[in-house]
Amino acid sequence: MMFCVMNRVPVAPEWRHAFEERFRRRAGQVELQAGFVRMAVLRPMSEDTPYVVETLWQDRAAFEAWVGSEDFRQAHANPLPKEAYNGEGKMESFELVASAETSISVKTSISIETSF
């Protein structure tokens, strides 16, 4: 069963650009991981709402392999300073029960092309 992880990250307003820029300039190692399906970074519409970083995996084992990998350690090696965050983040995990998609290709503002 498909496995979804949602990381909720409370970013301080003055650090939002830096946070987004890290995703724009990331090395892209997650895309090379076996079982990886997609990633989306969702910007909140209000300052008191956290960012959501969603990843979708073919199964939980694929996600756990990513978290245990050297690529994961490298991707998380240089975090933003503590003051960039308004409190602790939260990770939530889900099994995908149903989904719907279209064949329209969407180009995002962070230059990642995704087909839905």
A 10 A CB-CB count for 110 gives: 13
Strands (E), 10-112: 36-42, 51-57, 90-95, 105-107
The pLDDT tens digits of the residues spanning 20-47 come to 999 988 868 899 999 999 999 999 999 8
Residues in contact with 91: Cβ distance below 8 Å, sequence separation at least 6, in sequence order: 5, 6, 7, 8
Distance CA 95, CA 3 (A): 5
Q: Which domain holds residue 12?
A: 3-115
Average pLDDT over residues 45-52: 95
Considering its fold, how many domains does the chain have in total?
1
Q: CATH number for the domain including 67? A: 3.30.70.100
